[in-house]
Structure formats: C-alpha cells, structure tokens
Amino acid sequence: MRSVSVFSALAAASAVQAGPTQKRQSTFQPITVKGNAFYAGDKRFFIRGVDYQPGASSGNIDPLAEPDVCRPDIEKFQKLGINTIRVYSTDNSKDHSVCMNLLKDAGIYVVLDANNPKYSINRAKPGPSYNPTYLQSVFATIDEFAKYENTMAFFSGNEVIHDEKETTLAARYVKAVTRDMRQYIRTRASRPIPVGYSAADVQQNRMQTAAYFNCGTDDERSDFFAFNDYSWCTSDFVTSGWDKKVEAFKDYGLPIFLSEYGCIKNTRDFGEIGALMSPNMTHVYSGGLMYEYTYEENKFGIVTISDKAQKGPRKELPEFAAFQKAMEKFPAPTDDAGASPTQKAQACPTVDEHWMVSSTLLPAMPEGAKVYLKDGAGKGPGLDGPGSQDAGGGDTADAEPGSGAGGSTGGSTDKSAGVMVKADRVAFVVSGLAMLSTIVGAVLL
C-alpha cells in the first residue's frame, strides 16, 4: 500500500505542477530555429502546407474556433499529407483548444497572423495605428496560441509594405511590432516561438524589405523571413525566375519560406513542391504554403464549401488531387539538406528609388502598452471589437537600439540556446520539487 501511496503522491504533485492538460503526442516537438532553418528537435523541418481561411477575410470567421469548420478540413489536410497551415485571422477572445488539439493529433503545425482586419498597422497611417490598443490585441493573440505546442510561428504583418513607394515608410512600425512580439514572448510565454514578416510579391522592394527585417540589434531582427510568390505558372525552376531568387537569398542568414505560392494562369500541377524540396532550394528555403485551400472569389482554392458559415460539405476540385499527387511525388529531404548552422545579420537598406526608410531607429513601444509585459494582455477584443487604428496613443518617439531586451525567440540560435528559462518558472519548479520531496517523505514515514 505504501508504493501505491507514493505513486498517488507523485501523480498529485505532477497534476499540481502541470495544471490543465491537453492530449499529447510523445513524438510531437515544437519548432525552433537553428541557423537558417527550422527544426523539430534535431530533425530539420520543411513547411509543406496550405493557406487556410474559409470565407476569406470578408467572411470574418475564425476556423480554429469552430470545431464544425475545422474538423472536416483537418480530415482533408491529412488526405493531402500536409504538415502546416497558415491562418490569417483568428478571434483572440475565443477558445481554440478543440481545433488546435485536433490539428496536433494530425501532426499539423499552425502559422498565425497576429493581426486581423480591425487590429492591424495601417500602411497609409502607420504611426497612429501603432498604439496600445493594437498591441493589446496582438499580445492577446500570442497569449491564446502560445500554449499550444503546434503553434509554429507568428507573422507580425502581411503585405503591409507594397508596390507603392510610400508604403515602405510603414516598415519601421511593422519591425517595431516584430520587436514587441518577440519581447512579449520572451517575457510571458513558456517557450520560444519564432516571429517574422510575410512580404508581398513585389520585386522592386523585396530584397530591401528582407534586409530591413534582418538588420540592426538582435532584439530588432526577425526570427525568419517569408514572402508571397506567384511567379511559377506551371513552369520550371529557371523560367519562373526562382533560380535568381535563391541566388539572391543564399547568404541571407535566417530561415526563409514562401508564405503563399501559386498561379492560376495555367492548369496547376504544383511543380513548385518539386523545386522547393530539391537541392536547388533546400540550402536556402524551408518550404512553403500553397495558396490556398478554399475556393474563394480569387479562384485559387482546391476545395469548395457550400455555405456561408463554412460548415457545409467539402467538395474536392481537380486541383486537390493534383496537389495531393505532387505532395506524394516530392517528399521532404530526410537530412539537413544543405542548411547553414549559423545566422548572420544584413546591412540595413539605404534610401533609393524604391525604399524611403532613412533611419535605422524604430519607434518605441507605446507607454500604455508596457503594462502588458508585466501583467499580460488580458482578454482579446476578438474580430468584432471597435478596432485599433484610430484608438490613440501612437506616434511614439524613437527607441534606443537594443531596447527590446534580448535576441531570438526562435529558440536555438547560438546566443539564445539553453537560456530561455524565466526566473519565476525556475522558482516554481524548485518549489514544486520541494513540495514533492515533502509529500514523498511523509508517505514513506
């Protein structure tokens, strides 16, 4: 009976330390950054997935908060053989445990945009839109999803910088958001989660944008860079110009992947997957996300859904089978595939005919948002809140370089590996061990 009591005491102590539990897969590993690639444990991870937003942004539906929406789609994801989805808009006031755990059970990671249509940086008025109300929503999204092991990464922005030269002025504010998100994760989250930017398919400022998000002090630099690419139109590696992009990014120094890829000018055969998984690209790129899963007004999707609530039957279009076939034909490499073990920063871009940012300094985090680093963001405003772009409290002074305190949130760079345990968590573990020792000692008496 004593041994039973000991095991009971151990179980009780474990329950006290762990708190509410979720279904776990023993082989499931959060994604980290090492050098210029992603890793699940010690194995290199390639993104092989789809962009997923049923109803598009105008539908104002969070598919991860609606089990009746996500469940049938997860069955399709498994049929396709993907390992990652990107979700553009989520409701940070709702619970996502059912869908996130179903995705985890299916072995699928999630890349999330931290913004939504009402809470985002306004490229036309970036200064006022970078304010405490906006950051509270961003941080609330982090709070909601950081607890799930299959949350792979966060985007700090999507296509904010575009083909109009003046939109490059918004880069300072998006980069400030990146810094703030990374600081919040280091301060509040229980594990490192990479943060980066998703750039538009704009040739004239793509390289300047990439350099900008990888220049400056460690706290200011992104953990990865992603961009959208629509240049492969049932083509090949050279005709599409992908060979030149690989050459341009070969010494970038951070993980790179395609946050959207696709072209519907010709019948889609998804030959992009073959290139992305080949030695032509794997030393630089870490895969990509096919645009997109559901068939919307832009006609890119591979599945139709019959009702506005996105809960009706899923009909596979011919492109579904073509994508599935390409996924089977072009598996991911099983080794490091030429990845570099080290990272390096870029020089900040200078002003030219396509780039208007003249300062390397970033706006300081608004004073009203700093309380969230200490107390947490609290309940998010969701998708139906009043919005943040005109909420006030923005247009802050410039910050001192390094004010974001620390380096990578990707988890395994040279500077951050092994040091991302917070003092309060250490104290909690020590206290828990002391309590466990007391319990076991009492039982053995």
Q: What was the pLDDT predicted at 8?
A: 32
Confidence of residue 406 (pLDDT cuts 50, 70, 90): low
Mean pLDDT of 15-36: 62
Q: What was the pLDDT predicted at 412?
A: 53
Helical packing angle, 97-105 and 67-80, nearest 10°: 10
> Which long-range contacts (C-beta less than 8 Å, at least 24 apart) are formed by 8-11?
9/436, 9/439, 9/440, 9/443, 10/436, 10/440
Mean pLDDT of 242-251: 98
Q: What was the pLDDT predicted at 416?
A: 36
Domains, the chain, ranges and CATH? Answer: 30-375 (3.20.20.80)
* pLDDT of 167 over the 50 cut: yes
* pLDDT of 197 over the 90 cut: yes
Q: What was the pLDDT predicted at 47?
A: 98
Pairing of strands 31-34, 37-40: antiparallel
To the query of whether residue 292 is one of the catalytic residues in this protein, the response is: no
The model's pLDDT over 299-327, given as tens digits with 9 standing for 90+, comes to 999 999 989 999 999 999 999 999 999 99
Alpha carbons 132 and 184: distance in angstroms, whole number: 13
Give yes or no for a contact between 2 and 436, defined as CB atoms under 8 angstroms apart.
Answer: no
Q: What was the pLDDT predicted at 323?
A: 98
- The residues with which 199 forms a beta bridge, in sequence order, are 227
* pLDDT of 439 over the 50 cut: no
| DSSP sequence for 85-100 | EEES---TTS--HHHH
Alpha carbons 221 and 223: distance in angstroms, whole number: 7
Q: Among 66, 159, 220, 292, which one carries the catalytic annotation?
A: 159
* pLDDT of 426 over the 70 cut: no
The token pair at 333 is: 């490499």
Among 120-134, 358-372, 401-415, whose mean pLDDT is lowest?
401-415
* pLDDT of 96 over the 80 cut: yes
Q: Which helix (H) or strand (E) holds 109?
A: strand 109-113
Q: Among 220, 260, 292, 296, which one carries the catalytic annotation?
A: 260
Q: What is the pTM of this model?
A: 0.86
To the query of whether residue 159 is one of the catalytic residues in this protein, the response is: yes
